[in-house]
Amino acid sequence: MDSLTTYSKRPPGSNGGKNCTWELMSRRSGRRAGRATRVAAGERGVRGEPRTAGRGQRRDGCGRDGGAVSAGSVLDQSLESLLHRLRGLCDNMEPETFLDHEMVFLLKGQQASPFVLRARRSMDKTGMPWHLRYLGQPEIGDKNRHALVRNCVDIATSDNLTDFLVEMGFRMDHEFVAKGHVFRKGIMKIVVYKIFRILMPGNTESIEPLSLSYLVELNVVAPAGQDVVSDDMRNFAEQLKPLVHLEKIDPKRLM
């Protein structure tokens, strides 16, 4: 079996301990989208600067990130109004744009639910590594918490990632293309993007929009136990109303 090279960088403020991902999602408006959109919500990763790693180096060298996510959606005709609002609320820098191809792999075992890994690559930035992402089960915590919290691991890898996963016994469940913008407000990241269905498997040039709306995600990567992050996210989400309503969603409803 071929080896997989990984690249890693710990998120800012990471102490090498256990972190968690805070997720706050907003309920979709308009017509119901397809499965790819639902499972993609709240799961966009954070790209890190690659750092070459040897074969024997830990594959989870980026650390276990923690974060909170809230998500929502806006119709296409409301996109420009939302982007204008975000430019005024977020840090004074031009938002990043991205065009990513994402593939979701499953490994079925004796457990009730399959093990899920997500592989993605940039389609508009040459020389960027592939990214492999794992999302843990949501934490069972305070029901008054305003964001979904779960552990995640996100690492950059060499470009033989998909072949490596297939040899490991994974099979691809579905794939899609995501295109959008990334805004930042302190440690918060706001992602606005549209999901595109791939019409011919493996052909990312043959795509069509999956719905008439854009997904909106607000997420933070932070060490576990920092519940104050949830309040900060709620306060920021309030400033986006009524353009978009961000809320915590039970991930079981997305499957």
Condensed to tens digits (0 to 9), the pLDDT of residues 120-163 reads 999 999 899 999 999 887 776 666 666 778 888 899 999 999 99
Measured CA angle at 63 (ends 62, 66), to 5 deg: 120
Whether the CB-CB separation of 98 and 46 falls below 8 Å is answered with no
The number of residues in the chain equals 255
- Number of Cβ atoms within 10 Å of the Cβ of 150: 20
pLDDT for res 159: 93
Whether the CB-CB separation of 112 and 165 falls below 8 Å is answered with no
pLDDT for res 180: 97
Distance CA 66, CA 20 (A): 2
pLDDT for res 247: 83
The structure tokens 């890693």 sit at 8
The residues of the chain scoring below 50 in pLDDT are 10-18, 22-43, 45-64
Q: Which pTM was predicted?
A: 0.75
Whether the CB-CB separation of 160 and 2 falls below 8 Å is answered with yes
